[in-house]
């Protein structure tokens, strides 16, 4: 049954799994399922726990994603991995797995110190890691020897170009990260073919029209990873004794783990109420009609969790009937059909959601990894950042490639700068750490100005970074103010560097404007990362060549220091997906949907092979970030013959002088 026109279900006096709890308080456990990030906790449970505690709810939290990784990557974990590897017939062992078995002693000897180093608990081991004589090195390390200093191609130290003569800790962190990634490869080859540190089993859920692939995986014999996750789940239940467990699934790569957690809970403690929510649910399960989901979860909630959770907790305590739930899917006990219940109630204002808390999360256990040499991507993975939101939603909410129809973008709601700095000070007092990542879709310039002024007025010293729009409000004066308040980096969408396509995207910026804003940030000492896109509807080969020329000039002028090209994906919640005819494309018909719905294919009459072009774009960009090829004709990066760029050779330089 579609969520678009749900019937009103009958009242239920005794909600499922709530027997004995109607008159008493409920303990709520929020968990982070595998996999999210290794370097910092995903903030959803911190927000929910802080909010619930502020409302008098007994709320606790666990990061089962981190605990799973730390248990796997331990001497005892490696023992279990070796046992699984040795149980494989020799013909089924990959060369990597065979090498792991043959050199197991060295892997076991090094895993503990390496994890401790990445956690910041044993910095002196960096000398041994950086020596290249400590860690076992497999295929992942081939990339290290591929680094070539363009000024010294015959140089003997490939990492010197990437990290400098004094970058001992960075060298070691990069090598230790390669080692972790290699252990993940071994896990994938020997234990669980779906294993990834981030995109774990995401193919089972991402835009999957039916529940069948996920159901089959959940019914299969558990892998070592599954067994570990079950043990960790039961340990968390034993420690906290919750009556309600909230499982937050931000990405497709956390869905399989979420269902395995719920499966373990229902098998051992069927009386515990399980609730599924998070970014994946909000984006992909809006038309959920699959009853089997409710074999694992009693409730599935949409959009911001605060109001639905308050309604649900009141329901579980017998203080409101089921028909008065908010944005919640349930399975009807009589018919077995999925029903969507939504009593329209105002969402909790952003100013009243409270301060997130990291109490209960092992802040000293996260791993600072250094995977890619992209400076902005390093901020994502290296260091533990307190994640905070300046405002709810996007103040612009017009970009045609974005899911602007969804609540997390479309409903904009801000808070006073004084309140934001109160939250910042409370978080610093709790965590002892002053690094903040503002996770807004696009932080509003007015709010950032007020925040910066309040930070400086109070003398609160922090380091912060976040996402913005490269709009003209970011004057040189404002950029300097933000830098003075602690801003170290900004990222923003240049997308397809073409004024025609920027207008079609309704970005509200031009290439010239982006150049001036990024220069202002750079001159203030702020790292600038550009989100770039290719494959947007009606984008031609010539458009792509022109876009790369703009990007080359921006790097050449020193306006941006980092960037990444993303392939455009059409989603059903974006203006392109909702009104494809306005963009000259035809959507590929979707099958009947009972589970996940998000990405949708489209037919572009230009017929451009964007994947082939994408390889050239990312190769060029990687070199530009290292100062290579900035004086080379952009056409040389492409495999095929492409037209000469139509962009004036000094377009950006002239824009900066204007």
Write the pLDDT tens digit of every residue in 147-191: 555 555 555 556 665 555 547 888 999 999 999 999 999 999 999
- In this model, does residue 300 exceed pLDDT 60? yes
Query: Does residue 618 sit in the same domain as residue 646?
Result: yes
Residue 320 placed within a domain: yes
Q: What is the CATH number of the domain that holds 300?
A: 3.40.50.280
DSSP helix/strand/coil, 616: helix
The model's confidence at residue 575, banded by pLDDT at 50, 70 and 90, is: very high
Last residue of a domain, one of 191, 220, 245: 191
Indicate whether 377 belongs to any domain.
Answer: no
What percent of the chain clears pLDDT 90, i.e. is strictly above it? 86
Whether the CB-CB separation of 524 and 559 falls below 8 Å is answered with no
- Omega before residue 35 within 30° of 0, cis: yes
What is the reported pLDDT for 143? 77
Beta bridge partner(s), residue 299? 275
Mark whether 83 and 56 lie in a shared domain: no
In this structure, the answer to whether residues 468 and 517 fall within a common structural domain is yes
What's the residue count for the chain?
Answer: 658
- Does residue 244 fall inside a structural domain? yes
Q: How far is residue 449's CA from residue 477's CA, in Å, rounded to a whole number? A: 10
Per-residue pLDDT, 385: 94
In a domain, 376, yes or no: no
- DSSP letters spanning 284-325: H-TT---GGGGGT-SEEE-S-SHHHHHHHHHHHTTSS-GGG-
132 and 211 housed in the same domain? no
Q: Same structural domain for residues 35 and 87?
A: no
**Residue 561 per-residue DSSP state:** S
Query: Are 434 and 334 contained in the same domain?
Result: no
Domain boundary among 191, 219, 237: 191
How far apart, in whole angstroms, are the C-alpha atoms of residue 232 and residue 64? 7
Q: Residue 382 — pLDDT band, cuts 50, 70, 90?
A: confident
Q: Is residue 245 part of a domain?
A: yes
Regarding whether 605 and 640 lie in a shared domain, the answer is yes
Do 550 and 628 share a domain, yes or no?
A: yes
Report, as an integer, the average pLDDT of 408-424. 95
Same domain, 247 and 289: yes
Q: Domain end: 158, 191, 224, which one?
A: 191
Which tokens is 555 given?
């790097």
Structural domain of 136: 70-191
Q: Retrieve residue 57's tokens.
A: 């709810």
Tokens 């390889």, residue located: 615
> CA-to-CA distance for 193 and 201, rounded, in angstroms?
9
Token reading at 445: 């310039």
Report in angstroms the alpha-carbon separations of 297 from 134, 264, 322, 590, 622: 46, 11, 16, 26, 44
Which range has the worst mean pLDDT, 164-168, 358-362, 424-428, 572-576? 164-168
Is 643 found in the same domain as 517? yes
- 87 — pLDDT class (breaks 50, 70, 90): very high
Same domain, 81 and 143: yes
45 contacts 61 by C-beta, under 8 angstroms: yes
pLDDT recorded at residue 25: 84
Whether 6 has a pLDDT exceeding 90, the answer reads: no
Reported pTM: 0.92
Is the separation of the CB atoms in 39 and 367 below 8 Å?
Answer: yes
The number of distinct structural domains making up the chain is 3
Widest Cα–Cα separation across the chain: 77
The pLDDT, as a whole number, for residue 316 is: 97
- Is position 588 within any domain? yes
User: Which of 150-159, 233-242, 313-322, 632-641 has the lowest average pLDDT?
Assistant: 150-159
Residue 486 lies in a domain: yes
CATH number of the domain enclosing 544: 3.80.30.20
Does some domain include residue 352?
A: no
The pLDDT confidence band at residue 17, using thresholds 50, 70 and 90, is very low
Segment among 151-160, 197-206, 352-361 with least mean pLDDT: 151-160
Q: Identify whether residues 171 and 52 lie together within a single domain.
A: no
Mean pLDDT for the stretch of residues 600-619: 92
3-state secondary structure of 405: coil
User: Residue 626 has what pLDDT?
Assistant: 87
């Amino acid at each position: 049954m579609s969520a678009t026109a749900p019937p009103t279900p009958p009242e239920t006096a005794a909600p499922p799994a709530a027997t004995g709890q109607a008159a008493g308080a409920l303990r709520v456990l929020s968990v982070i399922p595998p996999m999210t990030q290794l370097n910092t906790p995903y903030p959803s449970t911190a927000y929910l726990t802080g909010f619930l505690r502020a409302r008098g709810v007994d709320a606790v939290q666990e990061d089962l994603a981190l605990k799973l990784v730390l248990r796997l990557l331990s001497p005892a974990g490696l023992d279990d991995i070796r046992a699984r590897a040795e149980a494989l017939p020799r013909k089924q062992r990959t060369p990597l797995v065979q090498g792991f078995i043959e050199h197991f002693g060295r892997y076991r000897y090094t895993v503990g110190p390496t994890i401790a180093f990445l956690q910041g608990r044993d910095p002196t081991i960096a000398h041994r890691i950086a020596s290249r004589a400590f860690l076992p090195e497999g295929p992942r390390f081939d990339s290290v020897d591929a680094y070539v200093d363009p000024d010294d191609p015959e140089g003997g130290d490939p990492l010197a170009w990437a990290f400098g003569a004094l970058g001992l800790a960075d060298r070691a962190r990069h090598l230790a990260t390669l080692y972790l990634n290699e252990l993940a490869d071994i896990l994938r080859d020997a234990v669980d073919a779906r294993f990834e540190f981030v995109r774990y089993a995401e193919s089972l859920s991402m835009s999957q029209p039916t529940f069948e692939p996920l159901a089959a995986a959940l019914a299969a014999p558990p892998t070592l990873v599954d067994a570990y996750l079950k043990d960790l789940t039961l340990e968390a239940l034993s420690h906290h004794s919750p009556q309600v467990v909230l499982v937050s699934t931000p990405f497709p790569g956390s869905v399989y783990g979420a269902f395995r957690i719920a499966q373990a809970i229902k098998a051992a403690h069927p009386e515990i109420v399980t609730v599924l929510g998070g970014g994946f649910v909000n984006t992909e399960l809006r038309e959920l009609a699959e009853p089997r989901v409710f074999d694992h979860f009693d409730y599935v909630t949409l959009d911001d969790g605060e109001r639905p959770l308050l309604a649900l907790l009141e329901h579980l305590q017998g203080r409101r009937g089921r028909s008065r739930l908010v944005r919640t899917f349930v399975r009807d006990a009589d018919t077995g059909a999925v029903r969507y219940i939504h009593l329209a109630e105002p969402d909790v204002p952003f100013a009243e959601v409270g301060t997130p808390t990291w109490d209960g999360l092992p802040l000293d256990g996260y791993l600072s990894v250094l995977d890619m040499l992209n400076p902005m991507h390093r901020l994502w993975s290296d260091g533990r950042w307190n994640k905070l939101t300046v405002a709810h939603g996007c103040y612009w909410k017009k970009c045609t490639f974005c899911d602007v129809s969804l609540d997390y973008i479309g409903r904009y709601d801000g808070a006073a700068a004084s309140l934001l700095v109160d939250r910042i000070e409370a978080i610093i007092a709790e965590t002892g750490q002053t690094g903040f990542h503002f996770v807004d879709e696009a932080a509003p310039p007015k709010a950032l100005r007020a925040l910066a002024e309040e930070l400086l007025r109070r003398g609160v010293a922090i380091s912060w970074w976040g996402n913005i729009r490269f709009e003209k409000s970011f004057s040189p004066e404002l950029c300097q103010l933000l830098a003075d308040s602690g801003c170290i980096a900004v990222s923003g969408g240049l997308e397809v560097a073409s004024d025609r396509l920027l207008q079609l995207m309704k970005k509200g910026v031009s290439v010239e404007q982006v150049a001036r804003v990024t220069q202002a940030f750079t001159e203030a000492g702020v790292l600038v990362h550009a989100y770039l896109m290719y494959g947007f509807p009606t984008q031609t080969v010539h458009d792509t060549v022109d876009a790369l020329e703009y990007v080359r000039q921006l790097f050449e002028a020193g306006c941006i220091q980092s960037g990444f090209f993303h392939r455009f994906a059409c989603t059903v919640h974006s203006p392109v997906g909702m009104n494809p005819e306005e963009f000259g494309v035809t959507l590929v018909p979707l099958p009947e949907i009972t589970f996940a719905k998000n990405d949708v294919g489209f037919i572009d009459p230009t017929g451009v092979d964007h994947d082939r072009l994408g390889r050239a774009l990312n190769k060029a960009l990687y070199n530009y970030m290292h100062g290579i090829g900035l004086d080379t004709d952009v056409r040389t990066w492409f495999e095929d013959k492409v037209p000469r760029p139509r962009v004036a050779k000094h377009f950006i330089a002239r824009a900066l002088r204007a």
